[in-house]
Chains A and B, each alone.
Chain A
Amino acid sequence: MKIGEWIARITRLRSRRSRLVSGIRGSAYNLSTVKDARIRHSHGSRGWTAALLLAAVAVGVSACSGEFPQSTLHPTADFSQQIDTLYRTIFWWALGVFVLVEAALLFVIIRYRERPGSPEPRHIHGSTLLEVAWTLAPAVVLVFIAVPTIRTIFRTDGTAPEGALAVEVVGHQWWWEFHYPELGITTANEMHVPQGRPVALSMTSKDVIHSFWVPKLGGKRDVMPGRTTRIAFTPDSIGEVYGQCAEFCGDSHANMRFRVVVDAPDEFERWSTGQLAGPTSVDSLSGPAQAGAQVFMTKGCLACHTIEGRSAGVLGPNLTHLASRSTIASGILPNDAEGLTRWLRDPPAEKPGSLMPKIPFTDDELAALVAYLRTLN
């Protein structure tokens, strides 16, 4: 994995630097045992810091061998790939500057420590040549960062190519609504997109500012009331990636998660056909599921939720094809009987501040409702 490689390289650079430093110590110092011990002691403390930093890096390495569904360092779309390439360019420049400047600092504080008999320093007030040099040097480095930056800004400005799949994103406290205007699909918290086809998002918010962020697909973009913002990306790998609201939006900001499922084109076709089919008719249901449909109609669920052909609430997510999603409650619970039961029993306990209130269901009603919701495929 690429990041693992860099960190391994950083680690090697660090050890090279510490060899350099000990080399300097070895050549520059010729001290009595006592002073030697003092230096060793202080070097030990610094060594400790270095060791801790290394430990942090090591944790980073181990971190990178795992599965990171929300990582910015594992791009799977053109947008995120372009950012990643740019970030790596900047990272190497930054690392170079870091090593040079920190090494200079370390060298100076070791070489010019006060020692008995060290002479009173000469009073040097400055050097125009040096000032000009170290003004120009960072300016030059910045040019090497600025040029690819500006190039990438224009490449990733959210303009989608012809034939992109349009998706309208609406942010709500605290869930995501996705419309596919060409396909006539409305869903929530799980966005399906086909692999290899550009996707053009136009985004707005129904309440406060949110931010749409799927790190593996690209950078974040705020989702604001009264404005429409855009991003575009072309996913290149099949699979499920994680996203999350990135702009603080109130009590359950932490629970405003979602998934993007990148399907193979034919799989996407199947998914969208399924989404267009109407829900199973209530008459064909039996047992608890049919009772659950009654609960849905009589306990107030219909006021906020749409199930096509049965209810038209718009405050909460559209549930017509709820059972086709893998999670509920904007990605915080698995969409199975247990998860649904937990959620329906006390929504504000799972998602603090949730607009969906706690409704006092009996156990039978709850089981029936869950059975019904599980049929919405």
Chain B
Amino acid sequence: MATSVMEHTPSAGLGARVWSWITTTDHKRIGVLYGVTAFAFFLIGGLEALLIRLQLSHSGNTVVSAQTYNELFTMHGTTMVFLAVMPLSAAFFNFVIPLQIGARDVAFPRLNAFSYWVFLLGGLFLNASFLVGAAPNAGWFGYANLTSSQYSPGHHIDFWVLGLQVLGIASIAAGINFIVTIVNMRAPGMRLMRMPVFTWMSLVTQFIIVTAFPVITVALVFLMFDRYFGTNFYQVAAGGDVLLWQHLFWLFGHPEVYILILPAMGIISDVIPTFSRKPLFGYAVVVYSGLLIAVLGWGVWAHHMFQVGLGPIAESVFAATTMMIAIPTGVKIFNWIATMWGGRIRFTTAMLFAVGFIAMFIIGGLSGVMHSSPPADLQQTDTYFVVAHFHYVLFGGAMMGIFAGIYYWWPKVTGRLLSEGIGKTHFWLTIIGSNLAFFPMHFIGLLGMPRRIYTYDAALGLDTLNLVSTVGAFVMGTGMLVFVFNVLWSRTRGQPAGNDPWGGATLEWSISSPPPAYNFSVIPEVRSRMPLWSENGMTPVPAVPPEPVHVPPGSFWPALAATGIIVAAVGAILKSLLVVLGGGAVLIVAIYAWALEPFEV
């Protein structure tokens, strides 16, 4: 039995250290891997955005060609959704959820490692398309039949259709893992309605993931069959239907929006009470409104399709369901404001980002209500107005929330605080830059600029507004550099955090920073929703385990299984059955070895 900590020691050689990261099954280290990887993809996606903005800084610009531009916006969207925001949230799921519910790890630690390696390799696979000059180029929602072999010859769409299927495996595996973890592994007394709201919103998100990803998988399998085996799901001439893709994609795509935003809403629901020194106002209502958003989110997909002409009855119904979603969303915002009302607000960087989230999400939410009205949407959809809308929601919302989470939990992860001074510079550059970049897009769209155009006519009169937006994008980019500098600076010079630098209320702040490999020396009994803010809220967690704690050793098989999957995908690109079968064989061997691995070593 391996006892106590199996941490790498500074004396271990580089090879051993790398090996320990490849084989790790510790949710905290996997969380760090997710965070670092996803942030690297976020920077790549950001670079793509800057090139896009450079190209659009004035009419008739020629920084990049039409073909390159189409690849850039496709990969920007695909990267930000699947390789940045989702896995950044996954970094928090991994690191924070077990600590918040008082568990020693997730339910399936090796499956967790598997999810990460599939995500990493899937992300590399998608981006490798740039190296062979065949990056996906049909937009992040890749409408049929533009994606057919006839209209998209070459490998561009193959990379996309295979890459997204691979990433779906990672998401579904992680989703199941976290559902089982949250449902089964809570500490005694951690009733569902005592869970921190971040864990609650994460649980809701996992249910959306495991139900929504199969839908896009079906759509992608149809597309793959059309491209590889000559089926006709989306081939109009053979009786297929181009709208089938849109219904399937958006049936996934709208719940996906909530997959992106709910974790960030959970993060700020934990950050705001901590820095207001007040419990979350209307805890139960915030939780239920999250659940309601998830349920209603399944009934609104066709609002992405008003311009196809659904007919007045369908348009009215989907308008009504969409408008209804504004209610629980608004309720959350009111509860956050009420939480701060009467509080004692400390403006740490984490809190600034949380407040920035609310301020910007209000704008994104209101433009969303404008889109919910089909006639108004007919003028707005597929223009820069809608680009403004979803950037207010996904950058102003999801990314602001994620940054709040990074500043909030960083000391728990590393044991050191990020610099508050540099952090506030990062915040101000981000909020000024993002408003400068995204606010003018409302006007650009209303004045007639469609999205996804690599060039525009000077006669549209939109040069000035576009230039302002480009300047804003570069201000944001500078903010990101400041953040990277903060991370590097604080690694060695950040102040030691101690267990609880913020005076938090939830379980993760009861243990040391960084936490020991076993998290809790003794699993505490929880007697309150805010165990650290309540008299006698939990049983004490001694600094030293009173008896040895079993920590499972790492395993190599999850990483190998992930490799098998990606080899199969590469084989499909090469159109080599041999390589596909080889990848499949590696996967099967790895899964067997994984299943037969002794439980205790």
CB pair A248 B452 closer than 8 Å: yes
Residue in B278, B435, B460 whose CB lies within 8 Å of A53: B435
The CA of A134 and the CA of B432, in the complex, are separated in Å by 30
Q: When A90-B376, A121-B278, A220-B382 are in contact, do A68 and B461 touch as well, CB less than 8 Å? A: yes
Q: When A73-B447, A83-B375 are in contact, do A158 and B143 touch as well, CB less than 8 Å? A: no
The CA of A122 and the CA of B341, in the complex, are separated in Å by 10
The CA of A134 and the CA of B279, in the complex, are separated in Å by 19
Minimum Cβ distance to chain B for residue A42 (Å): 8
CB pair A209 B242 closer than 8 Å: yes
Residue in B237, B282, B436, B460 whose CB lies within 8 Å of A56: B436
Nearest residue (CB) in B for A106 is B359
CB pair B342 A122 closer than 8 Å: yes
Q: When A224-B243, A226-B236 are in contact, do A245 and B428 touch as well, CB less than 8 Å? A: no
The CA of A229 and the CA of B578, in the complex, are separated in Å by 46
Q: When A56-B439, A86-B373, A114-B346 are in contact, do A254 and B66 touch as well, CB less than 8 Å? A: yes
Minimum Cβ distance to chain A for residue B431 (Å): 7
The CA of A222 and the CA of B373, in the complex, are separated in Å by 17
Chain A residues with CB below 8 A from B377, complex form: 219
CB pair B143 A248 closer than 8 Å: yes
Q: When A48-B432, A112-B343 are in contact, do A252 and B242 touch as well, CB less than 8 Å? A: no
CB pair B448 A70 closer than 8 Å: yes
CB pair A49 B381 closer than 8 Å: no
Contacting residues of chain B (354-397) with chain A, CB-CB under 8 angstroms: 355, 358-359, 362-363, 366-367, 369-370, 372-383
CB pair A121 B139 closer than 8 Å: no
The CA of A156 and the CA of B449, in the complex, are separated in Å by 23
**Is B124 in the interface zone, CB < 8 Å from A?**
no
Q: Per-residue 0/1 for A30-60: is the Cβ within 8 Å of any B Cβ (1 yes, 0 no)?
A: 0000000000001001001100110110011
Chain B interfacial residues counted at CB < 8 A:
101
Q: Per-residue 0/1 for A105-127: is the Cβ within 8 Å of any B Cβ (1 yes, 0 no)?
A: 10011001110001111111111
The CA of A139 and the CA of B279, in the complex, are separated in Å by 27
CB pair B373 A242 closer than 8 Å: no
**Is B459 in the interface zone, CB < 8 Å from A?**
yes
CB pair B283 A152 closer than 8 Å: no
Minimum Cβ distance to chain B for residue A11 (Å): 14
Chain A residues with CB below 8 A from B323, complex form: 142, 145-146
Q: Per-residue 0/1 for A151-187: is the Cβ within 8 Å of any B Cβ (1 yes, 0 no)?
A: 0111011100000000000000100000000000000
CB pair B330 A105 closer than 8 Å: no
The CA of A55 and the CA of B106, in the complex, are separated in Å by 49
Residue in A45, A154, A215 whose CB lies within 8 Å of B448: A215
CB pair A68 B370 closer than 8 Å: no
The CA of A215 and the CA of B333, in the complex, are separated in Å by 34
CB pair B452 A220 closer than 8 Å: no
Residue in B358, B443, B455, B464 whose CB lies within 8 Å of A105: B358
Q: Per-residue 0/1 for B441-481: is the Cβ within 8 Å of any A Cβ (1 yes, 0 no)?
A: 00100111111111111011110110010000000000000
Give the contact stretch, choosing among A93-101, A268-276, A313-321: A93-101
**Is A66 in the interface zone, CB < 8 Å from B?**
yes
Nearest residue (CB) in A for B286 is A126
The CA of A150 and the CA of B383, in the complex, are separated in Å by 23
CB pair A53 B447 closer than 8 Å: no
CB pair A222 B347 closer than 8 Å: no
Chain B residues with CB below 8 A from A127, complex form: 281-282, 338
CB pair B146 A248 closer than 8 Å: yes
Residue in B334, B342, B369, B447 whose CB lies within 8 Å of A145: B369
**Is A104 in the interface zone, CB < 8 Å from B?**
yes
Nearest residue (CB) in A for B427 is A45
CB pair A246 B450 closer than 8 Å: yes
**Is A286 in the interface zone, CB < 8 Å from B?**
no
The CA of A221 and the CA of B307, in the complex, are separated in Å by 5
Nearest residue (CB) in A for B377 is A219
Q: Per-residue 0/1 for A124-144: is the Cβ within 8 Å of any B Cβ (1 yes, 0 no)?
A: 111100110011001100100
The CA of A220 and the CA of B380, in the complex, are separated in Å by 9
Minimum Cβ distance to chain B for residue A71 (Å): 5
Minimum Cβ distance to chain B for residue A229 (Å): 5
Nearest residue (CB) in B for A126 is B282
The CA of A182 and the CA of B383, in the complex, are separated in Å by 34
Give the contact stretch, choosing among B96-104, B220-228, B309-317: B309-317
Chain B residues with CB below 8 A from A49, complex form: 431-432, 435
Chain A residues with CB below 8 A from B443, complex form: 56, 59-60, 63
The CA of A131 and the CA of B359, in the complex, are separated in Å by 20
Number of A-B contacts (CB under 8 A): 301
CB pair A149 B375 closer than 8 Å: yes
CB pair A126 B284 closer than 8 Å: yes
**Is A250 in the interface zone, CB < 8 Å from B?**
yes
The CA of A43 and the CA of B65, in the complex, are separated in Å by 44
**Is B83 in the interface zone, CB < 8 Å from A?**
no
Chain B residues with CB below 8 A from A353, complex form: 66-67
**Is A225 in the interface zone, CB < 8 Å from B?**
yes
**Is B145 in the interface zone, CB < 8 Å from A?**
yes
Nearest residue (CB) in B for A130 is B338
Contacting residues of chain B (34-75) with chain A, CB-CB under 8 angstroms: 65-67, 70
Residue in B282, B334, B343, B440 whose CB lies within 8 Å of A121: B343
Chain B residues with CB below 8 A from A341, complex form: none
Chain A residues with CB below 8 A from B533, complex form: 123
Q: Per-residue 0/1 for B265-283: is the Cβ within 8 Å of any A Cβ (1 yes, 0 no)?
A: 0000000000011110111
CB pair B464 A59 closer than 8 Å: yes
Residue of A70, A139, A211 with most chain B CB atoms under a 10 A cut-off: A70
**Is A67 in the interface zone, CB < 8 Å from B?**
yes
**Is B320 in the interface zone, CB < 8 Å from A?**
yes
CB pair B331 A220 closer than 8 Å: no
Minimum Cβ distance to chain A for residue B363 (Å): 7
The CA of A209 and the CA of B333, in the complex, are separated in Å by 38
Nearest residue (CB) in B for A69 is B459
CB pair A220 B379 closer than 8 Å: yes
The CA of A209 and the CA of B138, in the complex, are separated in Å by 12
Q: Per-residue 0/1 for A235-278: is the Cβ within 8 Å of any B Cβ (1 yes, 0 no)?
A: 00000001011111111111101000000000000000000000
CB pair A255 B242 closer than 8 Å: no
Residue of B139, B276, B343, B468 with most chain A CB atoms under a 10 A cut-off: B343
Chain B residues with CB below 8 A from A246, complex form: 307, 381-383, 450
Minimum Cβ distance to chain B for residue A316 (Å): 18
Residue in A72, A73, A150, A225 whose CB lies within 8 Å of B236: A225
Q: Per-residue 0/1 for B401-445: is the Cβ within 8 Å of any A Cβ (1 yes, 0 no)?
A: 000000000000000000000000000100110011001100100
Residue of B279, B340, B447 with most chain A CB atoms under a 10 A cut-off: B447
Residue in B281, B285, B447 whose CB lies within 8 Å of A63: B447
**Is B337 in the interface zone, CB < 8 Å from A?**
yes
Chain A residues with CB below 8 A from B340, complex form: 108-109, 112
CB pair B378 A83 closer than 8 Å: yes
Chain A residues with CB below 8 A from B457, complex form: 242, 257, 331-332
Contacting residues of chain A (190-205) with chain B, CB-CB under 8 angstroms: none
CB pair A134 B331 closer than 8 Å: yes
**Is B32 in the interface zone, CB < 8 Å from A?**
no
CB pair B373 A105 closer than 8 Å: no
Q: When A52-B436, A126-B282, A246-B450 are in contact, do A98 and B373 touch as well, CB less than 8 Å? A: no
Minimum Cβ distance to chain A for residue B2 (Å): 43
**Is B344 in the interface zone, CB < 8 Å from A?**
yes
Sorted nearest first, the 10 A-B pairs with minimum C-beta distance are: A219-B378, A70-B448, A254-B453, A226-B236, A352-B66, A126-B282, A72-B379, A149-B373, A134-B334, A94-B366
CB-defined A-B contacts under 8 Å, sample of 6: A68-B460, A72-B448, A97-B366, A211-B307, A219-B379, A254-B455
> A residues engaging B (CB < 8 A)?
42, 45, 48-49, 52-53, 55-56, 59-60, 62-63, 66-73, 80, 82-83, 86-87, 90-91, 94, 97-98, 101-102, 104-105, 108-109, 112-114, 118-127, 130-131, 134-135, 138-139, 142, 145-146, 149-150, 152-154, 156-158, 173, 207-209, 211, 213, 215, 218-222, 224-227, 229-230, 242, 244-255, 257, 331-332, 352-353
* Given A83-B375, A125-B279, 5 extra CB contacts under 8 A: A52-B436, A69-B448, A112-B345, A125-B283, A248-B138
